[in-house]
């Protein structure tokens, strides 16, 4: 996928989120659920700054980031983890 592509795949979203998640661990955040929330929020900010992404791609990315069905129990986002 080109860096200027108007879409972003779930695989790309997950890759960025995983790096962000592990980075928060290096900053001392130990709780997996909290770390996952921080990583989701940082990934969402990164996606929002990608000016080439279409509104539809952003909406799909947001939905994917908030979808708990692919997370293990200890990593599920709590009700307080929201995206603005």
Q: For the chain, how many helices (H) and strands (E)?
A: 3, 0
Burial of residue 13 (CB within 10 Å: 0-12, 13-18, 19+) is buried
Of 34, 82, 72, 21, the residue nearest 13 (C-alpha): 21
> Structure pTM?
0.90
List, for residues 23-69, the tens digit of each pLDDT value.
999 999 999 999 999 999 999 999 999 778 889 999 999 999 999 99
At residue 33, the 3 state secondary structure works out as helix
């Amino acid at each position: 996928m080109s860096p200027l592509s108007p879409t972003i795949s779930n695989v790309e979203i997950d890759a960025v989120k995983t790096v962000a998640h592990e980075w928060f661990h290096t900053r001392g955040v130990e709780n997996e659920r909290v770390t996952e929330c921080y990583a989701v929020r940082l990934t969402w900010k990164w996606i929002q700054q990608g000016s080439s992404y279409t509104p539809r791609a952003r909406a799909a990315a947001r939905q994917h980031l908030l979808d708990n069905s692919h997370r293990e129990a200890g990593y599920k986002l709590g009700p307080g983890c929201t995206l603005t």
